[in-house]
């Protein structure tokens, strides 16, 4: 079961497929989609690759990629790039993310989520304040201890990824080694948990003869965080087991669940657009809106537009030429409207492994609003210049 990030990517069901949200027909686009981003609300039961394959059919192009995978059991925001927008995905892979999840305390699994076989059932019971301990086989937990454990797993932490993950060990995926019966020990990695909040009261229940507690939580985290590992570590901190039973990604960088569309909605839009004259393709968030949501904006003059189109540098952008909001985007291209997202939102701080630090990148737009390039201020030979790191429409 291959997974890469935050409980992500697993060996899933389905091939390229021509069905939408597990049953809807996926039509082939009548025309190739414009360059841009598509924000998908991934359904359970599909791999991220399944979603990409279906979107390639809707977009009538093979040039579609995604920015960070989700397990088949997980749902929620999956950001896809179409055409030239695939070059933007490297910046979104490292974006902060937010999830809602359900953690089950009192039971451990091989994969640290509900898809793996149960490996231990120490159980968990909630003890009310002032209630006496009762002898039994299940650990007793208090709300105070729970909140203390959650607080200890917040902020900058060192996290050991789940052994059943896509991390390579000696050139082989960790999950493959686990499947082969090996004991795999991965090294801890620094991640940041910006938000770890328990929603409501823990819900007691019984599973396979063991008393368990289910917690609904919200997690905001840096790139590379495994939510499954967070569930595992919370259980361990409380002296019992823990694993993930549900996961929904609600935000990737500036793109929140409110801007996401289901495959069925997109399939309907593509089918309806095929009957128009001229035919209308898959609705996307255009390049200009996409880079404006990801980075501060620099408006170029006609002369600067021509200069950058040839890959040449400009006077430095500097903080005075940058603008933008810090709120996550909640709007997106509406299926059937053909309109791009109207969002000037900026993402929160990124933690990305790419060589181009997004905090130093500026989106360059032409006077007519077209996306021209991404610029970065650099000092060379004692002179500061704004140099293009990515030109979307070279001369």
The pLDDT tens digits for 199-234 are: 999 999 998 888 999 999 999 999 989 999 999 999
pLDDT category of residue 271 using cuts at 50, 70 and 90: confident
In tens, the pLDDT along 280-298 reads 889 999 999 999 999 999 9
Output the CATH code of domain 97-252.
3.30.2350.10
Neighbours of 78 (CB within 10 A): 26
* Distance, CA of 315 to CA of 336 (rounded, Å): 41
Residue labelled with tokens 């939580």: 217
Q: Taking 60 as the threshold, does the pLDDT of residue 70 lie above it?
A: yes
Q: What pLDDT, on the 0 to 100 scale, is given for residue 191?
A: 95
| Whether 255 contacts 284, CB under 8 Å | no
| pLDDT greater at residue 175 or residue 211 | 211
Look at residue 137 and tell me whether its pLDDT is greater than 50. Answer: yes
Structure confidence at residue 56 (pLDDT)? 95
CB proximity list for 129: less than 8 A, separation 6 or greater: 142, 143, 144
* Range with top average pLDDT, 10-14, 16-20, 193-197: 193-197
Is 71 one of the catalytic residues?
yes
- Residue 231 CA to residue 59 CA, distance in Å, equals 37
Q: Over 60: is that where the pLDDT of 329 sits? A: no
- The pLDDT value recorded for residue 327 is 37
pTM of the model: 0.81
Terminal CA-CA length for the chain: 45
Distance CA 90, CA 14 (A): 26
Contact 229, 221 (CB under 8 A): no
Q: Higher pLDDT residue, 380 or 183?
A: 380
148, pLDDT greater than 50: yes
Domains of the chain, residue spans: 36-95+255-391, 97-252
pLDDT at 294: 92
Report the candidate in 173, 154, 159, 177 with the shortest Cα–Cα distance to residue 229: 159
Give dist(CA 22, CA 14) in Å, integer.
10
Burial per residue of 168-202, b for 16 or more beta-carbon CB atoms within 10 angstroms, e otherwise: ebeeebbbbbbeeeeebeeeeeebbbbebebeeeb
At 265, phi and psi to the nearest 5?
Answer: -65, -45
Percent of the chain with pLDDT over 70: 74
Q: What is the pLDDT of residues 160-173, one digit of tens each?
A: 887 666 666 556 66
Q: Tally the C-alpha atoms within 13 A of residue 255's C-alpha that lie toward its C-beta.
A: 32
Please determine, for residue 140, whether its predicted confidence score (pLDDT) is greater than 50: yes
Instruction: Indicate if the pLDDT at residue 324 is higher than 60.
Output: no
Mean pLDDT throughout 43-56?
Answer: 94
- What pLDDT is attached to residue 114? 92
Q: Compute the distance between CA of residue 203 and CA of residue 221 in angstroms, rounded to an integer.
A: 25
Task: Check pLDDT > 50 for residue 182.
Answer: yes
Q: What are phi and psi of 58, to 5 degrees?
A: -65, -40
Q: CA-CA distance, 91 to 294, in Å (whole number)? A: 8
Beta strands 108-109; 242-252: pairing state:
unpaired
> How would you list the strands of the sheet with 383-391, edge to edge?
297-299, 361-365, 371-380, 383-391
pLDDT (mean) for 262-268? 94
Q: Determine which one of 41, 71, 289, 377 is catalytic.
A: 71
**Mean pLDDT across 71-94:** 93
Give the whole-angstrom CA distance, residue 283 versus residue 237.
46
Q: Which pLDDT score, from 0 to 100, does residue 22 have?
A: 54
Q: Identify which has the larger pLDDT, 12 or 254.
A: 254
Asked if pLDDT for residue 129 goes beyond 50, the answer is yes
pLDDT at 30: 74
Average pLDDT along the chain: 81
> What percentage of the chain reaches a pLDDT higher than 90?
57
């Amino acid at each position: 079961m291959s997974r890469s990030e935050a409980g992500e990517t697993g060996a899933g069901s389905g091939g390229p497929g021509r069905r939408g949200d597990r049953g809807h027909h996926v039509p082939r686009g009548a025309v190739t989609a414009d360059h841009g981003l598509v924000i998908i609300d991934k359904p359970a039961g599909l791999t991220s690759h399944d979603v990409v394959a279906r979107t390639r059919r809707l977009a009538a192009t093979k040039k579609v990629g995604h920015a960070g995978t989700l397990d088949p059991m997980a749902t929620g925001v999956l950001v896809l790039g179409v055409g030239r927008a695939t070059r933007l995905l490297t910046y979104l892979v490292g974006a902060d993310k937010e999830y809602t999840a359900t953690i089950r305390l009192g039971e451990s699994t091989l994969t640290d989520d509900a898809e793996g076989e149960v490996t231990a059932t120490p159980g968990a019971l909630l003890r009310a304040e002032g209630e006496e301990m009762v002898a039994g086989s299940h650990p007793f937990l208090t709300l105070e201890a729970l909140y203390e454990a959650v607080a200890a797993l917040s902020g900058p932490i060192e996290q050991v990824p789940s052994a059943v993950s896509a991390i390579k060990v000696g050139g082989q995926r960790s999950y493959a080694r686990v499947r082969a019966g090996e004991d795999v020990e991965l090294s801890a990695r620094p991640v940041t948990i910006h938000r770890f909040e328990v929603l409501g009261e823990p819900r007691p229940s019984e599973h396979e003869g063991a008393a368990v507690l289910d917690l609904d939580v919200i997690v905001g985290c840096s790139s590379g965080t495994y939510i499954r590992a967070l569930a595992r570590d919370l259980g361990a901190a409380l002296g019992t087991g823990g694993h993930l039973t549900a996961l929904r990604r609600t935000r990737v960088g500036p793109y929140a669940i409110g801007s996401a569309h289901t495959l069925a909605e997109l399939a309907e839009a593509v089918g309806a657009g095929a009957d128009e004259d001229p035919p209308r393709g898959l609705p996307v968030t255009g390049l200009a809106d996409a880079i404006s949501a990801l980075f501060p904006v620099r408006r170029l003059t006609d002369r600067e537009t021509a200069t950058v189109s040839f890959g040449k540098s400009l006077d430095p952008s500097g903080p005075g030429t940058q603008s933008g909001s810090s709120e996550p985007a909640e709007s997106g291209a509406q299926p059937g409207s053909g309109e791009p997202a109207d969002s000037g939102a900026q993402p929160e701080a990124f933690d990305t492994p790419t060589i181009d630090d997004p905090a130093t990148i500026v989106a360059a737009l032409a006077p007519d609003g077209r996306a021209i390039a991404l610029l970065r201020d650099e000092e060379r030979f004692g002179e500061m210049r704004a140099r293009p790191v990515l030109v979307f429409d070279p001369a």
